[in-house]
Amino acid sequence: MSASSQPLVRIRDVTKNFKRGAEEVHVLSGLELAVNDAEFLALMGPSGSGKSTLLNLIGGLDRPTTGTVQIGADRVDQLSDRQLAAWRARHIGFVFQFYNLLPALSAERNVELPLLLTGLNKAARRQHVAAAFEAVGLTNRAKHFPRTLSGGEQQRVGIARAIVTDPTVLLCDEPTGDLDRKSGDEILTLLQSLNKDHGKTIIMVTHDPHASARASRTVYLDKGQLSNTPTA
Give domain limits for the chain. Answer: 39-60+92-227
Percentage of the chain lying above the pLDDT 70 cut: 97
At residue 173, φ and ψ (nearest 5 deg) are -105, 100
Per-residue model confidence as pLDDT tens digits over 2-22:
444 689 999 999 999 988 888
pLDDT at residue 42 is higher than 60: yes
Residue range 209-229: mean pLDDT, rounded: 92
Tell me which residue of 183, 186, 221, 170 sits closest to 9, measured CA to CA: 170
pLDDT at residue 223 is higher than 90: no
pLDDT at residue 206 is higher than 50: yes
Identify the bridge partners of residue 221 per DSSP, sorted by sequence position: 226
- Choose the weakest-confidence range: 68-77, 117-126, 221-230: 221-230
Write the DSSP symbol of residue 85.
H
| Residues 168 and 35: beta-carbon distance below 8 Å | no
Percentage of the chain lying above the pLDDT 90 cut: 83
Going from the C-alpha of 176 to that of each of 10, 169, 199, 202, 210, the distances in angstroms are: 26, 18, 21, 14, 10
Per-residue model confidence as pLDDT tens digits over 124-182:
999 999 999 999 999 999 999 999 999 999 999 999 999 999 999 999 999 999 999 99
Write the DSSP symbol of residue 147.
G
Q: What pLDDT does residue 3 have?
A: 42
Q: What pLDDT does residue 95 have?
A: 96
Strands 217-222 and 201-205: unpaired
Average pLDDT, the chain: 93
Q: What pLDDT does residue 232 have?
A: 58
Identify the bridge partners of residue 15 per DSSP, sorted by sequence position: 66
Q: pTM score, two decimals?
A: 0.93
d(CA 164, CA 208): 27
**In CATH, what number does 39-60+92-227 get?**
3.40.50.300
